[in-house]
Amino acid sequence: MLHHDRRSAILQLDLVDFFPKSGPVPLFFSVCDTTSNGLWRVGDDPMFKKAEAILEEKLRPLIEAEGLELVEVEVSKEGRRQFVRLFVDTPQGVSLEECSRLSRRVSPLIETLELFEGRYVLEVSSPGATRSLKKDQDFVRFAGRLAQLNLSEMVEGRAQWVGDLQGVEGSHILLWPLDGPELVRIPRALVRSARLEFESPQERKQRQSQRSRPA
């Protein structure tokens, strides 16, 4: 166990089996039970969202300076415990050492923001195989991968789509539905959330091979 200031670091190897880089399951490193005399009252979801936006704005430059991508910030309360979860990645994945080092870098900055009342748990991890898709470049980078898109309004009678990403065209995300023969253009502004779906390389290859066969 590491100790620094008012924080104690706990190593969590949840389902990792000592993999050196992130793969289908995420690597976790958490800095827990940090005390902060903040101005925020927790328990209200809009407050969480506002805290997430502030954390993303303040932490992104530091995280990018470490050569990592900030995929997502999540603030939640589970029982009496408050959690701040940072999901980071690189094209090659992230190691446990990188998560540990980053947690020590960002923890003092989070303290200065004074966003929370009482104690909270800081977790830094890879996003795993079902990572969130936030930016247009994410939909381009993961073209050919299976993804789920949840929409704020219906598109062609659906508010949820699952299929192969085909990139971005103007203000639309291109998706080839699992159960459809035609490409669907989904307005980017209607995407409430998007996430990769887990599948093995063998499953992906088989599915794409079947799609490419002539009818």
Rounded mean pLDDT of 179-200? 92
pLDDT for residue 74: 93
Q: What is the CATH number of domain 2-125?
A: 3.30.300.70
Structure tokens at 56: 């993303």
Range(s) within the chain of domains with CATH label 2.30.30.180: 136-212
pLDDT for residue 43: 41
pLDDT in tens, 136-171: 999 999 999 999 999 999 999 999 999 999 999 999
**Separation of alpha carbons 43 and 53, rounded Å:** 16
Rounded mean pLDDT of 24-48? 48
Q: Which CATH superfamily is domain 136-212 in?
A: Ribosome maturation factor RimP, C-terminal domain (2.30.30.180)
Residue 73 has pLDDT above 50, yes or no: yes
Range(s) within the chain of domains with CATH label 3.30.300.70: 2-125
pLDDT for residue 212: 62
Rounded mean pLDDT of 52-79? 94
pLDDT for residue 4: 30
Lowest mean pLDDT segment, chosen from 70-74, 107-111, 177-181, 204-208: 204-208
Q: Which amino acid is at 69?
A: E
Rounded mean pLDDT of 53-72? 95
- Specify the pTM: 0.69
**Separation of alpha carbons 213 and 215, rounded Å:** 6
Structure tokens at 142: 């993961």
Residue 199 has pLDDT above 80, yes or no: yes
